[in-house]
Amino acid sequence: MPSTTTTHEIELVIGKEGGGGGGQLPPVGGNGGGGEDGKKRPNRPISPGRYYTGIAIGIVSVLMFFMALASAFLVRKGGSDWVPVHIPGLLWGNTLILLASSGTLELARKRLTHSDVLGFKRFWLITTILGVAFLIGQVVAWRILVRQGIYLASNPASSFFYIFTGAHGLHLLGGVGALIYVAQRNYDKAKITRTVAAEVTSYYWHFMDALWLFLLALMYMGK
């Protein structure tokens, strides 16, 4: 049990739950607002700011990872042992699938703004299926290359092809996991709302989409 201290002193400590972002200045010259802000609110969704900030910073970090590899690609491709990889035609189809998935993701989010959870779930599921289809397509593209005798260890260009597609695929697999998680989650007791979860996931998904376009352009034009 806490020690007994007179209650009027407690009011001097003005409370606000973490997550406010610290932007605003406190009311100077009073202990105003302490009482109502300080109430306990169990299971209240916390401020979504941290999720948006988190995904933005996470995206920068992932971008840095791929930029390091891309710069290595540019340095390396001048070498005499560089044998360009002919990009399988299937990759263009995969790209279309990924672009379509971004579209369906936005449609799903639009359903959510109309409070149509069922519609949201339907489009969300389509997005997930398209994401998985893209991944399967990438694996098939690998198989095509392997059948042509182009392996990871064949030459620097093929090494880069496999590492770009592999690393991107792994990141996208994380995205698919996030899609499934967002769809399955019970939001009644969660600290995050479905809208916020969907929005944060969509940022990552669109980023993966754009990143793939960049990598494809790099591999296509850089050969």
Note the residues at the interface with other proteins (CB under 8 A): 1-5, 9-10, 12-26, 28-31, 38, 40-42, 44, 46-47, 49-50, 53-54, 57-58, 60-62, 64-66, 68-69, 72, 75-76, 78-81, 152-153, 155-156, 159-160, 162-163, 167, 191
| Shortest distance in whole angstroms from residue 32 CB to other proteins | 10
| Shortest distance in whole angstroms from residue 13 CB to other proteins | 6
Tell me which long-range contacts 58-61 makes (C-beta under 8 A, separation of at least 24).
Answer: 58/204, 59/203, 59/204, 59/207
Q: Nearer to other proteins by C-beta: 75 or 118?
A: 75
Measured CA angle at 171 (ends 165, 177), to 5 deg: 130
Taking Cα atoms as reference points, which of 3, 4, 31, 33 lies closest to residue 17? 33
Beta-carbon neighbour count of residue 168 at 10 Å?
Answer: 22
| Shortest distance in whole angstroms from residue 222 CB to other proteins | 14
Please report which residue ranges of the chain form alpha helices under DSSP H. Answer: 7-10, 34-37, 49-76, 90-113, 117-147, 156-184, 194-221
Q: Nearer to other proteins by C-beta: 108 or 219?
A: 219
Q: Nearer to other proteins by C-beta: 31 or 148?
A: 31
Q: Nearer to other proteins by C-beta: 63 or 210?
A: 63
**Cα–Cα dist 108/101, whole Å:** 10
| Shortest distance in whole angstroms from residue 140 CB to other proteins | 20
